[in-house]
Chains A and B, each alone.
Chain A
Amino acid sequence: MNNRLKVLRAERDWSQAELADQLGVSRQTVNALETGRYDPSLPLAFKIARVFGQPIEAIFTED
């Protein structure tokens, strides 16, 4: 699964640690998400969508 997490975070000028704090996950998890090597659970995907104020399908796309 591809995602726009890194772009969205950069647009807001947040660090990985700041995004991790908002999501309640570790910085390592944010890094794994951004590199596309870890797909989030549905609850975490909803949380990400809420933090960025965008629908899930605008953030995550199928390969």
Chain B
Amino acid sequence: MNDLSRPRRPHGPGAYLLVIGASLVLGGLAGAASAFLGDQPGPVGTAVTAAFVTAAMAVGFTACIWWWRGIDEAAREAHKWAWWWGGSGGMAVGSVLLLTLMLRAEEQSLPAKLGSTPADIFVSGMMCILLFQLAGYSLAWAGWWLKHR
């Protein structure tokens, strides 16, 4: 609060795209490394996959911290508000949809792309919820800035 030096310019959309792009590349590298090096029987393969995914998540999270520290307080407020209301709202909508589908499972036929094993279907459900969260988050974020123009 007592810093009298000239403040630096906050991160713009370029930094956001940089973090998203770097995260995608990192995720691709971790996925490729897991596929090639983690394709071993037993706990070694699981450990290798877990190590690559953990490392990618850690680096990605570090990039997010760098980006978060570089944006200004209104931008942070928009993201916090969007994550709470948009993310939670999206999760609620997605949960209603998935739970309803689950309760009527015998009447539904799941698309083959969602997988056939319990693990595949579990991950597909998780990703569906994440997509609903992201959709809600995006809408709420845009709404926050429209309201605060």
Given contacts A23-B7, A26-B12, contact A31 B149 (CB under 8 A): yes
Q: Is the interface of A mostly helix, strand, loop or mixed?
A: helix
Q: Which stretch (A3-11, A41-49, A54-62) binds chain B?
A: A41-49
Interface size on A, residues (CB 8 A): 22
In the complex the two chains form, is A26's CB within 8 Å of B72's CB?
Answer: yes
In the complex the two chains form, is A24's CB within 8 Å of B8's CB?
Answer: yes
Taking CB atoms, residues of chain A closer than 8 Å to B72 are: 24-26, 29
Binary interface encoding of chain B residues 43-76 relative to chain A, with 1 for a CB under 8 A from any of its CBs, else 0: 0000000000000000000000000000011110
Query: Which A residues are closer than 8 A to B by beta carbons?
Result: 21-26, 28-29, 31-33, 35, 37-38, 40-44, 46-47, 50
Task: Provide a sorted-by-A list of 27 A–B residue pairs whose CB atoms are within 8 angstroms.
Answer: A21-B9, A22-B7, A24-B7, A24-B9, A24-B72, A25-B72, A25-B73, A25-B74, A26-B74, A26-B75, A28-B74, A28-B75, A28-B145, A28-B149, A29-B72, A29-B73, A31-B149, A32-B74, A32-B149, A33-B74, A35-B149, A37-B147, A38-B74, A38-B77, A42-B1, A44-B73, A46-B1
